[in-house]
């Protein structure tokens, strides 16, 4: 027995039908979102970029329309990733491998490249003939033309990716002028190569051999999950239309036309049962429905169904209504968790303040004893203004009796219990703060508090941070 399965090129046939049209729609939407999003503009005023979705690695910010995420708020991104993971579980539990069949990037780009194949080489039979034909001028020209289109799509795909990390119009100009960062060219080169190879040549092999998700999904599917299934009790024994017409009682509905296999993008025969190669794209349903219509039999010989419903139908009962199929307990549990995380994130987003403070005490030396017996500690304090405009912010000392403070940019004589600074828009302003407490002050905890003072939106927002004041041991 060979442990290696020889690769057979799949040449899916063109098909039209409701699922194919749905696939077109999903492809249009997903590719439109991917290629178009970086070009959406969003006015954030003069102090922030105008790109609606931007991962600004240099300044450590993530912008998404009106939302700006700072590094210390990364839990929002983590929450979104967790929601995406649970969302996949939810979709799988409700409608089987719909992600694989419609929205997975590998599926979408493979589908796109298969349309390029049809456009250049023709439909299934023409492509199979061309594959077998010896190399000559016509085959060379077609291959060159087809691979050039692959390359353009791949380059465009890689190019779109880097636009999420910098201002898209500026980066495009710099890219073509040769003055973009080397990492931009390297990223485009890597993504062009992987898209060209995975979408143009590896195709269904990624789903069958490389991707771990089908293995995880098979563990998640049960007899209540929706899958694309062939109804054996209706189709078997199969036989050609001619044979069935001669001997109608002997044959089932399947006329063995192989159309379901011909249109399958992974090249499998769904009549052999559920299998890992089936991405549930439902194109075989379109193909078989068309055949059933042509031979005057009811549609649905291949259909979306749960194994439980298949057994009911085989026993002569009506299948359950769709809402019952979709709403089984595991799906509801996933939906509950997904909704709870989403609601938690929305709540956190709606109630977060755009003013912040971090405090780092100097540890070497922990304190300085002054000639008059007072004690000085120093700290690095960062005042965070997370709004897109400059703001006046007041820093105050809480819980350290008689203490005053000054900074590098003022004289020690001006030390006070509070100080006010203008913090530029969208900036964490670092201050070196010296806190001096009267003779006799002992080591103790205290806090800094920052309060936004301006009258506009966000005034009165405050944040505080606990820290420690070190002093010599009492004699
Ligand atoms: S068997 Fe049908 S649903 Fe499964 S991948 Fe092939 S065409 Fe798509
Ligand atoms: S398309 Fe339908 S009728 Fe034709 S082989 Fe497939 S299951 Fe049978």
pLDDT tens digits, residue range 29-81? 999 999 999 999 999 888 889 999 999 998 899 999 999 999 989 999 999 99
Beta strand residue intervals within 160-279, DSSP E: 227-230
User: Measured in angstroms, how far is the CA atom of residue 12 from the centroid of ligand 2?
Assistant: 15
Percentage of the chain modeled with pLDDT above 70: 99
Closest C-alpha residue for ligand 1 atom 7: 264
Closest C-alpha residue for ligand 1 atom 8: 281
User: Measured in angstroms, how far is the CA atom of residue 258 from the centroid of ligand 2?
Assistant: 6
The residues lining ligand 1, judged by C-beta closer than 6 Å to any ligand atom, are 228, 263-266, 268, 270, 278-284
Is 389 a residue whose pLDDT tops 90?
no
- pLDDT at position 119 is 96
- pLDDT at position 261 is 97
Is 475 a residue whose pLDDT tops 80?
no
Q: Are 95 and 335 in contact (CB under 8 A)?
A: no
Ligand nearest to the CA of 230: 2
Is 457 a residue whose pLDDT tops 60?
no
Ligand 2 in reach of 288 Cβ (< 6 A): yes
Record the pTM. Answer: 0.87
For domain 355-469, give the fold.
Immunoglobulin-like (2.60.40)
The CA distance from 445 to 350, in Å, is 32
Closest C-alpha residue for ligand 2 atom 1: 288
Task: Tell me the pLDDT tens digit for each residue of 431-454.
Answer: 999 999 999 999 999 999 999 987
- pLDDT at position 460 is 79
The CA distance from 416 to 401, in Å, is 12
Closest ligand 1 atom to residue 302 Cα is 2
User: Measured in angstroms, how far is the CA atom of residue 252 from the centroid of ligand 2?
Assistant: 11
Ligand 2 in reach of 229 Cβ (< 6 A): no
Tokens of 195: 């898209």
Highest mean pLDDT among 5-14, 167-176, 447-456: 167-176
Q: Are 362 and 390 in contact (CB under 8 A)?
A: no
Query: What are the backbone dihedrals phi and psi of residue 323, each rounded to the nearest 5 degrees, phi first?
Result: -60, -35
Closest C-alpha residue for ligand 2 atom 7: 254
Is 93 a residue whose pLDDT tops 90?
no
Sketch the domain layout of the chain as residue ranges: 28-79+99-209, 227-320, 355-469
Mean pLDDT of 230-247: 90
Task: Tell me the pLDDT tens digit for each residue of 324-366.
Answer: 777 888 889 999 999 999 999 999 999 988 899 999 999 888 8
Closest ligand 2 atom to residue 255 Cα is 3
Q: Are 451 and 396 in contact (CB under 8 A)?
A: yes
Closest ligand 1 atom to residue 281 Cα is 8
The CA distance from 65 to 73, in Å, is 16
Tokens of 154: 């791949």
Ligand nearest to the CA of 285: 1
- pLDDT at position 455 is 59
- Residue whose CB lies within 8 A of the most ligand 1 atoms, among 204, 217, 280, for a mutation test: 280
Per the prediction, the chain carries an average pLDDT of 92
């Amino acid at each position: 027995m060979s442990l290696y399965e020889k690769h057979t090129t799949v040449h899916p046939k063109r098909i039209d039908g409701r699922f194919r049209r749905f696939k077109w729609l999903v492809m249009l939407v997903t590719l439109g979102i991917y290629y178009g999003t970086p070009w959406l503009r969003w006015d954030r005023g003069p102090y922030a970029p105008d790109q609606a979705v931007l991962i600004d690695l240099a300044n450590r910010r993530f912008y998404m329309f009106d939302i700006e995420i700072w590094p210390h708020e990364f839990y929002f991104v983590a929450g979104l990733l967790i929601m995406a993971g649970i969302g996949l579980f939810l979709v799988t539990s409700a409608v089987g491998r719909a992600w694989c069949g419609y929205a997975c990037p590998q599926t979408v780009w493979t589908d796109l490249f298969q349309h390029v194949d049809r456009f250049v080489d023709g439909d299934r039979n023409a492509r199979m003939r061309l594959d077998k034909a010896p190399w000559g001028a016509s085959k060379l020209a077609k291959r060159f033309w087809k691979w050039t289109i692959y390359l353009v799509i791949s380059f465009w795909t890689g190019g779109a990716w880097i636009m999420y990390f910098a201002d898209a119009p500026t980066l495009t100009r710099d890219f073509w002028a040769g003055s973009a960062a080397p990492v931009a060219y390297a990223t485009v080169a890597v993504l062009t190569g992987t898209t060209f190879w995975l979408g143009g040549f590896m195709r269904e092999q990624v789903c069958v051999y490389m991707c771990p998700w089908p293995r995880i999904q098979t563990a998640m599917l049960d007899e209540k999950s929706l899958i694309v299934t062939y109804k054996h009790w209706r189709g078997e024994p199969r036989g050609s239309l001619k044979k069935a017409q001669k001997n109608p009682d002997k044959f089932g509905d399947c006329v063995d036309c192989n159309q379901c296999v011909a249109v399958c993008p992974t090249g499998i025969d769904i009549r052999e049962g559920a299998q890992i190669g089936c991405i549930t794209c439902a194109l075989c349903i379109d193909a078989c429905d068309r055949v059933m219509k042509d031979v005057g039999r009811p549609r649905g010989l291949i259909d979306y169904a749960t194994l439980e419903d298949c057994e009911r139908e085989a026993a002569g009962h009506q299948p359950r209504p769709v809402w019952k199929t979709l709403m089984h307990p595991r799906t509801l549990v996933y939906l509950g968790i997904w909704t709870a995380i989403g609601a938690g994130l929305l709540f956190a987003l709606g109630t977060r303040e755009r003013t912040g403070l971090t405090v780092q005490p100097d540890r070497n030396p922990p304190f300085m004893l002054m000639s008059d017996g007072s004690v000085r500690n120093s700290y690095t304090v960062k005042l965070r203004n997370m709004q897109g405009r400059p703001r006046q912010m007041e820093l105050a000392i809480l819980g350290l009796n008689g203490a005053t403070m000054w900074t590098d940019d003022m004289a020690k004589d001006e030390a006070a219990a509070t100080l006010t600074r203008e913090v530029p828009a969208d900036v964490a302003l670092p201050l070196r703060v010296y806190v001096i407490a009267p003779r006799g002050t002992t080591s103790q905890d205290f806090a800094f508090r920052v309060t936004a003072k301006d009258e506009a939106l966000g005034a009165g927002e405050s944040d505080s941070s606990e820290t420690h004041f070190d002093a010599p041991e009492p004699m």
